[in-house]
């Protein structure tokens, strides 16, 4: 499915990113991994970068451009227990900077996949804040968080809402070259940071877990990302796929008076 394709995977050292790397390799692809920690999974090349370091990110972009990669899987992220400035920087600002820095150097018909979240629900109500964040740089983030009230309680939700909106916005941005952008939105996933989510979300998370039969696993999410990186997804543009054991469907149905 990905034979002879070069795929850049961020967050490659744990959780969903690690499983995406495994599945890309199994599908015949070449994996270029990016993470702040050394991976245990097999990759073809690895770049150790802290995405909060803008200079290091600039250097990474210049290093990756010659690859003319066939895909970019933006999986790296930090949990809602991190300081809001870090959450906004890693989950949104650095992700966008990396993507926009590389897009002109990607191969024609390349695929970009953003790991969003069920937490991105309700983005339509945050358009003003999302537009205010459109051109943020690393150094802008602390002032933005202060001005827009992006506190620890909402920082993760905001970044995922903004990422879903950004994916929709770029549905046709690069279609003259066949480059597409899509997103995947997991619900709670059993990764090393699941505990951070449960701690932050409290009763809301407990209710979600009672409704679901189990939390997701990286092996539930990675096949969807891998499909979106493949040629089988060429007619999907700007979509956000809920991969959450039915949780999004439950929310949509019950909030509209269905069972």
Question: What does the pLDDT look like over 78-122, one tens digit per residue?
Answer: 999 999 999 999 999 999 999 999 999 999 999 999 999 999 999
Distances (CA, A) of 173 to 2, 19, 181, 226, 229: 23, 29, 9, 22, 17
Q: How many CB atoms lie within 10 A of CB 153?
A: 12
pLDDT band with cut points at 50, 70 and 90 for residue 195: confident
Active site residue 165: no
Which residue in the list 156, 166, 174, 227 is annotated as catalytic?
156
Residue 92 lies in a domain: yes
Q: What is the pLDDT of residue 192?
A: 72
DSSP 219: H
Contacts of 21 (CB under 8 A, 6+ apart): 9, 12, 31, 33, 39, 41, 42, 43
pLDDT attached to residue 190: 82
Residue 25 covered by a domain: yes
Q: Quick one: pLDDT at residue 212?
A: 82
Read off the pLDDT of each residue in 199-220 and give the average, rounded to a whole number.
Answer: 77
d(CA 230, CA 241): 15
Which pLDDT belongs to residue 197?
Answer: 66
Q: What is the pLDDT of residue 194?
A: 72
The CATH number linked to 200 is: 3.40.50.720
**Does 194 fall in a domain?**
yes
- Model confidence at 237: pLDDT above 90: yes
Whether 52 contacts 90, CB under 8 Å:
yes
Q: Of 136-145, 202-211, 221-230, which range is least confident?
A: 202-211
Q: How confident is the model at residue 213 (pLDDT cuts 50, 70, 90)?
A: confident
Res 225: pLDDT = 98
Residue 11 predicted with pLDDT over 70: yes
Split into its structural domains, the chain has a count of 1
Domain contains 1: no
High-pLDDT (> 70) share of the chain, % = 94
What is the pLDDT averaged over residues 180-197? 85
Domain presence at residue 259: no
Instruction: Tell me: pLDDT of 198 over 80.
Output: no
Over residues 156-166, mean pLDDT: 97
Judge whether residue 230 has pLDDT over 80: yes
Q: Compute how many other C-beta atoms are within 10 angstroms of the C-beta atom of residue 36.
A: 17
Chain centre distance of CA 150: 19
Model confidence at 201: pLDDT above 80: no
Assigned domain for 250 exists: yes
**Could you list the residue range(s) of the whole structural domain that residue 42 is in?**
6-254
Lowest mean pLDDT across 55-64, 203-212, 234-243, 248-257: 203-212
């Amino acid at each position: 499915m990905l034979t002879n394709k070069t795929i850049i995977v961020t967050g490659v050292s744990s959780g969903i990113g690690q499983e995406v790397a495994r599945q890309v390799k199994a599908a015949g692809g070449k994996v270029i991994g990016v993470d702040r920690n050394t991976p245990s999974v097999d990759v073809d090349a690895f770049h150790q970068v802290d995405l909060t370091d803008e200079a290091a990110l600039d250097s990474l972009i210049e290093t990756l451009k010659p690859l003319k990669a066939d895909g970019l899987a933006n999986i790296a992220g930090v949990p809602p227990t991190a300081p809001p400035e870090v959450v906004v920087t890693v989950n949104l600002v650095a992700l966008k900077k990396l993507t926009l820095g590389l897009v002109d150097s990607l191969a024609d018909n390349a695929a970009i996949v953003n790991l969003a979240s069920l937490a991105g629900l309700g983005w339509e109500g945050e358009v003003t804040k999302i537009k205010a964040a459109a051109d943020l740089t690393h150094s802008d983030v602390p002032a933005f968080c202060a001005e827009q009230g992006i506190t620890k309680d909402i920082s993760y939700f905001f970044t995922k809402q903004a990422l879903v909106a950004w994916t929709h916005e770029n549905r046709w941005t690069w279609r003259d070259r066949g480059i597409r952008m899509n997103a995947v939105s997991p619900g709670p996933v059993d990764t090393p940071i699941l505990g951070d989510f449960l701690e932050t979300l409290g009763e809301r998370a407990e209710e979600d877990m009672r409704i679901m039969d189990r939390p997701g696993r990286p092996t539930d999410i990675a096949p969807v990302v891998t499909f979106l990186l493949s040629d089988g997804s060429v007619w999907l543009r700007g979509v956000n796929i809920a991969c959450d054991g039915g949780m999004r469907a439950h929310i949509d149905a019950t909030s509209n008076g269905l069972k």
